[in-house]
Amino acid sequence: MSADAIPQSRAIPDRVRRDRAIDVGGLILSAITIVFALAAFFPIYWAVITSFKSESEVIASGLSLWPKRLNIEAYQHIWNNTRIGYWYINSLVTSALITAIVIVSSAGCAYALSQLDFPGRRVIYVLILACFMVPMQALIVNHFVLMAQFKLLNTWPGIILPQLIVPVVIIVYKQFFDSVPKEYREAAQMDSAGPFKILFRIYLPMNWGITSALAIITFIGAWNAFLWPFLAATGEATMTVPVGITQVKDAYGIVYARLMASAVMAGLPVAVVYLLFQRRVTQAIMLSAGVKG
């Protein structure tokens, strides 16, 4: 017994040493993660703090990480002297419509490509993949010319239509529909169910998690869109929030506190949506990253 106990007693310190080495490595990685997280969060903190400062304090020399006195004058100016209420409505309406149309049309397209057999199916899917590889910025000129010919500039349809091209949603849906056993569709067809009923009664209810994740990430992308709404909306009445905040200016130069206040008000709804649906947003990012990989 004593001879067996000696090797076991020697093995215990070795395990303790390994555990300590793992703990030290974990602490180092945690410290590095915290440093990078603080570095990424600092610009947001700086924008929020600057928005609560007076303009004289903002332009004063020296570094001030906290305002001497909380000042909401910048927010009052933005709310009272700009059309931010209209900008919020425009962003909410356009983002909601873009999300609804993209989700419904992408689900239908993906179902057709995955479950239906028709001529040219593979060619259409290859074209969708090709669209996925082309950034929207490369099509800006074509979109602008088309919207100008249709006389849709400075209108909600003109802002919405070019943003309906989201091929990644179709690709994610198709990957899921491909994994669903075809016996479900065959059983529904035996009960005289048509393609639309099969899609909306069987396939979509089976993946509400993916649908909600894609809807949230599409809504956030549409809310944050700047380049196309900036070109399509030429009047303040149709501007979205990201475009409208560029109109916050002063006759005597740049007013930093007001600019930061407008930026905070523009990003606040998206931040709230992200905090409420953090898991779904992370799931959608992982899905799209998997497609890109």
- Model pTM? 0.80
170 lies in the same domain as 259: yes
196 lies in the same domain as 280: yes
Residue 179 included in any domain: yes
Q: Which pLDDT does position 293 carry in this prediction?
A: 47
Q: Which pLDDT does position 7 carry in this prediction?
A: 53
Residue 71 included in any domain: no
Strands (E), the chain: none
**Domain range for residue 42?**
2-51
Residue 73 included in any domain: no
**Residue type (1 letter), 121:** R
- DSSP at 250: B
Q: Which pLDDT does position 10 carry in this prediction?
A: 52
7 lies in the same domain as 136: no
Q: Which pLDDT does position 144 carry in this prediction?
A: 92
In tens, the pLDDT along 207-224 reads 787 888 888 889 989 999
288 lies in the same domain as 151: yes
- What is the spatial distance between Cα 150 and Cα 207, in angstroms, rounded to a whole number? 37
Contacts of 82 (CB under 8 A, 6+ apart): 244, 247, 248, 262
Q: Which two tokens stand for residue 157?
A: 């349809």
88 lies in the same domain as 38: no
Q: Which pLDDT does position 210 carry in this prediction?
A: 83
Q: Which two tokens stand for residue 147?
A: 């919207």
User: What stretches in the chain show pLDDT beneath 70?
Assistant: 1-23, 249-254, 280-281, 283-293
Q: Which pLDDT does position 203 carry in this prediction?
A: 86
Q: Which pLDDT does position 70 carry in this prediction?
A: 83
158 lies in the same domain as 202: yes
The tally of domains found in the chain comes to 2
In tens, the pLDDT along 40-57 reads 889 889 889 988 888 788
CATH number of 125's domain: 1.10.3720.10
99 lies in the same domain as 188: yes
- What is the spatial distance between Cα 240 and Cα 160, in angstroms, rounded to a whole number? 11
179 lies in the same domain as 263: yes
Place of tokens 């290859």: 126
Instruction: Count the residues in the chain.
Output: 293
- What is the spatial distance between Cα 135 and Cα 212, in angstroms, rounded to a whole number? 24
Contact 224, 140 (CB under 8 A): no
